[in-house]
Amino acid sequence: MIRASVMGQRTKKRIRPNRTRKRLGRLPPTPEFLKFGSYFHQDVLVLQGTWEAATLDVVASFNGEDRKRLRDFIGTVLESDLSPDELKKLWDLTGSDWYLDGAALRTILALAHDGLRKGLSRREARMLFLDHLAVVAPTLAEGVVHVRESLDLDIPEGGRHREMGTRNHLLRLGEALFLEVIAVDPEAPPPDRPRWFGLGDAAAVRADWESGRRLRAFVARTNDLDGALARRPGLFGSAMRMSRGALSWRFALRGDGALPMDGLLPCLMDWDAAGHPARAMPDLGARLLVFRLDHPDPEAAAALYREIGLLNPPEIHAGAVFRYTAEIETPAGPRILG
């Protein structure tokens, strides 16, 4: 059974009637997102936020006939507080509950109004999406053992980052989401600049590790990395080209190698044309249920995530110490990684 986080609640996946598939048979071929009923969005807020961003400058420009056509097509114009009836209408339209990203939604809405699809693509380029979680470990072996003890899974090996002198292991958590264990590669020559994820400060990494702050950071992806950095100069650093084997991407790195705001904000990256690597990772049956942040000032943290445009932020709770935890579904049941 698949479960998902919706502001701390869990919902069961529901497969919708086949009549919807017939109705949408005119759709052009697209990836696995159109296998209705096969995928489930882990956070309703992602789809909700994607829709809202698109409608800011597109739906507002619709004339009366456009608006009627759109409402007739999906039952309503979605807003921030979707009612159960509105949710059911959307589920009946698409054939399943929610999607991993906006790809299927864009295709479906193209049938209602091509301008909305174009507006969604334009606004979505500026959004930040949760991409992966990072366990920052003093040594790679310690990180792998921590994941094994927490999840009862052996996280597969990833590779080396020659630009940073680091190495990682990777666990797929969804179609476009994964867990990374990263540490200094003792066999690699030291880089000519501070290592990313704060790994250049071995004492600080060890102190966080011993205090239980092991799930230390997360990374958000964007299709407009240069724009995101320009809008917040100095906060995330500057873009650098990184690689792991044949895979290459752009990553925002601060001059001191530190995590943005000590890890409260995500590191930013852009996979470019290569596409998301999670689909090529071994699937061990792990899925993220809840990504949680405990923080002494939860309202300030939430405001920061809104300000940077993060669509699927952690679930925020008041806590004496700033730390992340993740509830992950595994073949043995749900487990907690901290």
Where on the phi/psi map is residue 117: left (φ > 0), alpha (ψ -120 to 50), or beta?
alpha
Tell me the C-alpha to C-alpha distance, in Å, between residue 142 and each of 81, 146, 292.
43, 6, 22
CA proximity to 77, closest of 58, 97, 100: 58
Residue 98 tokens read as 């929610």
| Tens place of pLDDT per residue across the chain (338 aa) | 222 222 233 333 333 333 332 222 333 333 333 332 323 333 444 444 444 444 444 444 455 555 555 454 444 433 333 455 544 554 444 444 333 334 444 444 444 444 443 444 445 556 788 999 999 999 999 999 999 999 999 999 999 999 999 999 999 998 889 999 999 999 999 999 999 999 999 999 999 999 999 999 999 998 889 999 999 998 999 999 999 988 889 999 999 999 999 999 999 999 887 778 998 999 999 999 999 999 999 999 999 999 998 888 999 999 999 999 999 999 999 999 99
- Structure-block tokens of residue 174: 């969804």
- What was the pLDDT predicted at 265? 98
CA-to-CA distance for 42 and 3, rounded, in angstroms?
A: 8
In sequence order, which ranges of 79-223 are alpha helices (DSSP H)? Answer: 84-94, 103-110, 114-124, 140-151, 202-210
CA distance 338 to 328: 11
Angstrom CA distances, 128 to 119, 123, 262, stand at 17, 11, 19
Query: What span, in angstroms and rounded, lies between the C-alpha atoms of 91 and 12?
Result: 13
Given a contact cutoff of 8 angstroms between Cβ atoms, the answer to whether 284 and 178 are in contact is no
In whole angstroms, what is the distance from residue 297 CA to residue 317 CA?
9
**How many Cβ atoms from other residues are within 10 Å of residue 223's Cβ?**
16
Nearest to 269 by CA among 291, 254, 253, 247: 253
The predicted structure's pLDDT at residue 238: 96
Please, what are the domains in the chain?
3-124 (no CATH), 129-337 (3.10.180.10)
Q: Which two tokens stand for residue 76?
A: 């309503």
pLDDT in tens, 192-247: 999 999 999 999 999 999 999 999 999 999 888 999 999 999 899 999 999 998 88
pLDDT tens-place string over residues 61-82:
455 555 555 454 444 433 333 4
